[in-house]
Chain A
């Protein structure tokens, strides 16, 4: 009998594409509960016609809901932007073009995320006026 066979292992290469691929899966898994709970509460239990600034103000009185909404925004946005990046890579083939694409999408992602973060952190003010 031969010696016990050692498992074959190599150093996993770390590349942007590998990280993006993993991120797509992790964010997708997290989005399943985040998006479904959101849809269930807003569209089924409450109803979109009942949602106004007063409702949002009441909801965001709880820090947990603010964190929830921010997580939903962050994961959905990054998941969608990475999907868009994959589609656009079908049409942009040069390394410089792809690099520019990544930066442009990253900046758009950051701006929208910051806008959402400002809204969520700032909360709703003067809802009574509506």
Chain B
């Protein structure tokens, strides 16, 4: 089959404004959009810039807008798009560095603000081994451990588009992962951070993040659970 790729192009060193370029190429229905981008880069235009790493939906490098929807290019098959006209654009809400590459620093800055690491200064158990928890306690935050920090959720959030200071769904998901971990002791600190102006209460439950997440994390639910923890102090 033949597909037409319309790709957002912008080289700040040469272009005064972004533009689109169109490429027509042969593809298999089972090709992924990432395969098509690799073909363009290898055979049509070597200057095309995009991020990719594992190419198997684990590293989260190749997040981009495909036909208007935030997706991982390595997880989208051509046959699933329902059209042979494919428009590929960079993520919204972040500055374009070149072509499909955006500056992820504001995203990671928000991520760092929620202290996304294990906090527990208590001495380890007497046997010197790991801090134990029950399967139920582990299950409590299982969903939010799946995040790969691809940025698809945060850059699909209308509040983040308007207000880049909003921590965004990804940061809150990663805070949730530790807040509800029975071994962690940093919940108080994180909840105080998330209760501020740019925290969870900026979420308007648009559900864009939940719909976009390539890992199918129930993000809006996780955000609601953090809101409830802030209002009640309960972490169960």
Contact = CB atoms under 8 A, between A and B. Distances in A.
Interface of A: 5, 7-13, 15, 17-18, 20-22, 86, 89-91, 93, 95, 98
Given A12-B233, A13-B192, A89-B163, 8 more contacts: A7-B235, A7-B236, A8-B182, A8-B235, A10-B191, A12-B231, A22-B231, A91-B162
B206 to A, nearest CB: 13
A89 B229 CA distance: 24
B230 A13 contact: yes
A18 B162 contact: no
B197 A9 contact: no
Contacts, number: 61
A9 B230 CA distance: 10
A118 to B, nearest CB: 33
B182 A18 contact: no
Interface of B: 134, 137, 159, 162-165, 182, 187-188, 191-192, 195-197, 199, 201-202, 204, 227, 229-236
30 contacts: A5-B134, A7-B234, A7-B235, A8-B234, A9-B233, A9-B234, A10-B188, A10-B191, A10-B235, A11-B233, A12-B191, A12-B230, A12-B231, A13-B188, A13-B195, A13-B230, A15-B195, A15-B196, A17-B197, A17-B201, A17-B202, A18-B230, A18-B231, A20-B201, A21-B227, A21-B231, A90-B159, A93-B165, A95-B197, A98-B197
B236 A12 contact: no
Contacts of B192: 13
Given A17-B195, A18-B230, A90-B162, A10 B187 contact: yes
Contacts of A11: 188, 233
B197 to A, nearest CB: 6
8 closest A-B pairs by beta carbon, nearest first, are A90-B162, A8-B235, A12-B233, A17-B201, A15-B195, A13-B195, A10-B188, A13-B192
A93 B199 CA distance: 13
B202 A89 contact: yes
B236 A13 contact: no
Contacts of B230: 12-13, 18
B130 to A, nearest CB: 15
A12 B162 contact: no
Nearest to A87: B162
Contacts of B236: 7-8
B202 A18 contact: no
